[in-house]
Amino acid sequence: MVPPALAVHGALSRGVLAVTVLVSLAVLFTPGDDVPSSPAGVDKLVHFSLFAALALAGRWAGLQVRTLVVLLVAYAAGSEVVQWLAPLDRDGSLGDWGADVLGIALALLTWEALARRRVSR
């Protein structure tokens, strides 16, 4: 049995996923001039958190783990390539991509651990 908080919630969960994707588009593709300055390391925390949120929203919306991992890792890599190539005045970074992948992995592992823990009770 899946705990109520982790159950797929139809339109609500899909809406949350859609909003999370829209936020990610704004965060990842805002031109460099519009990105506020921040202390060192905050950029990696933002990438980690953003992709963790995407992973959690995707699982809540009922996407399969493998599908979600492939889509999010490709999206993370693609966003870095676009930042590197496009005239956004942004820099693509392997470090940012690593933070993205770490966020995806930790979120999905946490989701699965909570689901298993609940089922075993």
Domain ranges of the chain: 4-120
Distance CA 29, CA 38 (A): 17
Percentage of the chain beyond pLDDT 90 is 66
When pLDDT is cut at 50, 70 and 90, the band that residue 28 belongs to is: very high
What pLDDT digit, counting tens, does each position of 69-120 carry?
999 999 999 999 999 888 888 888 999 999 999 999 999 999 999 888 876 6
Q: Which two tokens stand for residue 11?
A: 């339109």
Over residues 38-54, mean pLDDT: 93
Residue predicted with more confidence, 35 or 44: 44
pTM of the model: 0.89
Under DSSP, the state recorded for 5 is: G
Count the neighbouring beta carbons within 10 Å of the beta carbon of residue 93: 15
When pLDDT is cut at 50, 70 and 90, the band that residue 24 belongs to is: very high
